[in-house]
A and B are shown apart, each in its own frame.
Chain A
Amino acid sequence: MTTISTPHEAAVHHHAPPDSFIRKYVFSLDHKVIGKQYLGLALVAVCTGMVLSWYMRLHLGFPDAKAPGLGLITPEQYLQLMTMHGTIMVFFVLTTAPFAGFGNYVLPIQVGAEDMAFPRFNMMSFWVTFVAFAILVASFFVPEGPALSGWTAYAPLSAVGKDAGPGQGLGQTLWAFSILFFCIGQLLGSLNFIATTLDLRTKGMSLARLPYCTWAWFITSVIGLIAFSVLMPACVLLILDRVAGTSFFIPAGLVVSDRLQNHGGGSPLLWQHLFWFFGHPEVYIAILPGFGIISTILPVFARKPLLGPNVFLACMVAIGFLSYTVWGHHMFLSGMSPTSATIFSVPTLIITIPAAIVTLLWIGTVYGARLRFTTACLFCLGFISVFVTGGLSGFFLAQPSIDTYLHATYFVVGHFHFVMGVAAMFGIFAGTYYWFPKMFGRMMDERLGKIHFILTLIGVYAIFMPMHYLGMAGNIRRYSSFPADYMGVDLPVHRWITIAALLTGAVQLIFLYNLIRSRFAGEAAPDNPWQATSLEWSTTSPPPFDNFGGRHLVVAHGPNDYGVAGPDGRDYIMQAE
């Protein structure tokens, strides 16, 4: 039995590096391998999700064109593409990459630990998530295909079975199981992040000295712990409604496809409440790691400390707390009373205050700085740009009366793609360009990176800006095509968006090429290529199996010492010197 461990002993993990291929690269306990596995999974998922969106865009812009492999896309197929695009992107990209991926790789090193607190749970976390992804992808290949009820899977459409359309049979059941497994995986991950941050910090690494991205991952894991704990019961009840004949979400007397459903008394709204109680915090699970990454990277390239670090942390905590009070703003159209709508609208507006403060802190950090325009820095600036753009449209949507008009339109599509999708992606890109040298010991190509950034920034504005105009013009979302009705006049705009989306997608090949080429033929990376302060830069690139080669770093400084008189004439002081 283990004996009482001192903080020092607890930070030491007594497992030797494994020899076999399986233990080293497949069922590895090493947080660095698990982090890369998560990032690899996210890369596969993001490519899948992007191809799905190309099919959707192709049909929206050119409704009569035959899609490669699918022929003329039917409305049902369109909904399936939309459902899978949303599910894959939100769960398997925006949650796995910035949180589970970078968090797993970087957090233990940044706190000075040799591994996560529970390496076995950590391994399980990835493989359960992998199984969840495999189940979801498998639903493409079952008869009638994957689910079509959207990534939100609103009941009763998601609960009644195949009467609700193709894909609502086995496809939707697989969807529910996939999300159930995903919840388990992320809960195990969150447990690890929390225990590692609290208990495995090296000597001198007080909470106040934690780098901002570690703070962000910690807060995100607390949010995730609460959010996924609520989505999981919702999935269990949904699965029981589907396979065991219960009636949690299916009302009495429901007729679907001319057939009376043999259920009674359930509440479809109950699903919406449970789902959005998870769903809104999920937005912050996707974006807060980005906040942390930006706040860590910007000072490095501004050579100035982050402005107001304590204010920044307070704002992140405030956002995390408020994220649990606003879920009803997704349900303004569900028939809720004006009083309830107001109760959800007010905190939605209040949450913009900490978000705006954070943005101002970033701008203040950059203000007057002599920026080093690396690709990682550019993506940070791009993050601020798209986050502000997407956040501004949020003001409008937070008003129940305006949302009544805009909710079911492309305005919302433009809004959430900017503020959550593209912003989080820019955070992922920034993190990739920043940590790639540490992870693989090789630099990425900066010239290709800058081309990638410029074209992507122009591309995402070309795609998502016009969607706001479509929304204001009343163009309904989730419809597969509308050539013959009043929305036909919007077709040229859709065509523009489609062309922009295909081109911006093609631009990502530059990133893929850069990633693969740099991995094998990139310039060798020094230990601290960016002259940054946090602990991951105090070890080799890539770090040894135990992260610090048996050394136990003692932390003497905060992460924010840029623009100071450091040793050897440097303008920064590393945390462990």
Chain B
Amino acid sequence: MSTHVVSPARTGVWAAIGAITMSFAAYTSALVVRAGDSADWVHVHLPWLVYANTLTLIASSITLEVGRWRVSGRFDSRVSGLSLLRVTLALGLVFLFGQVMAWRMLAAQGLSLATNPNASFFYVLTAVHALHLVGGLIGLAYVIYRARLSAFPSPGPVSASTLGAVALYWHFMDVVWLYLLVVLTLWL
């Protein structure tokens, strides 16, 4: 890949990363102000499931990277690469399902969105992350769909630009989630 490749998709994802970073910075500052400003800040135990979900999400990034590497290789490895992209998509769905289950575990403890500010922030931050992750799932599904349509015709390896942009976004979702986990663990 030459260094002069122009990829609007990648530029767009970098810009989106900037925007999403600012969004979560805003949520974080709201959390810090809210925690420091009030007497109703209590302690909430995060459900154990969120840690398991974290592993799922990290695994999805690994399958995506390996899949991306194989997809750009020889024909036989491209097929397995495509399968790994499907696995990534599935792991993303598993993560989302796990997050919903984590919400239900929290709800079973009697903590709903408005019970206390800690619960409010947990639900809001995880939900906003999940919404952004859905964007990544749509991107993955699009890439797989396009790959299936073209069935990897030669010439040349599969595009670095679209898949690269989707992968960049997906890994960024990992980073955001790890960041949120630290923030939630420290403040809740």
Contact = CB atoms under 8 A, between A and B. Distances in A.
B100 to A, nearest CB: 17
B5 A4 contact: yes
Contact of A229 (B1, B20, B113, B120): B20
A195 B13 CA distance: 9
Interface stretch (A141-149, A238-246, A285-293, A559-567): A238-246
B81 to A, nearest CB: 12
B26 A229 contact: yes
A225 interface: yes
Interface string A375-407: 000000000000000000000000000000000
B38 to A, nearest CB: 4
Interface in B43-72: none
Contact of B5 (A5, A190, A267): A5
A240 B15 contact: no
Contacts of A269: 33
A191 B145 CA distance: 24
Interface residues of B, number: 48
B12 A191 contact: yes
A10 B6 CA distance: 7
A265 B113 contact: no
A234 interface: yes
B160 A117 contact: no
Contacts of A225: 15, 18-19, 22
A198 B12 CA distance: 10
Given A236-B124, A240-B113, A244-B114, A1 B26 contact: no
A492 interface: no
B19 A6 contact: no
Interface in A179-221: 187, 190-192, 194-196, 198-200
Contacts of B11: 117, 194-195, 198-199
Specify the main secondary structure of chain A where it touches its partner. helix
B120 A232 contact: no
B171 to A, nearest CB: 19
A264 B41 CA distance: 10
B128 interface: yes
A270 B146 CA distance: 45
Contacts of B83: none
Nearest to A278: B26
A4 B12 contact: no
Contacts of B147: 1
A240 B7 contact: no
A273 interface: yes
A1 B159 contact: yes
B27 interface: yes
A248 B124 CA distance: 11
Nearest to B146: A1
Contacts of A237: 30, 124
Contacts of A240: 113, 120, 124
Interface in B122-160: 124, 128, 143, 146-147, 150, 152, 155-156, 158-160
18 contacts: A1-B158, A5-B161, A10-B6, A190-B15, A192-B12, A194-B11, A198-B11, A200-B8, A225-B18, A229-B18, A230-B23, A233-B26, A246-B113, A247-B40, A265-B38, A266-B38, A269-B33, A274-B26
Query: Lowest 7 CB-CB distances: which A-B pairs, in order?
Result: A265-B38, A245-B114, A117-B8, A265-B40, A229-B22, A195-B8, A229-B19
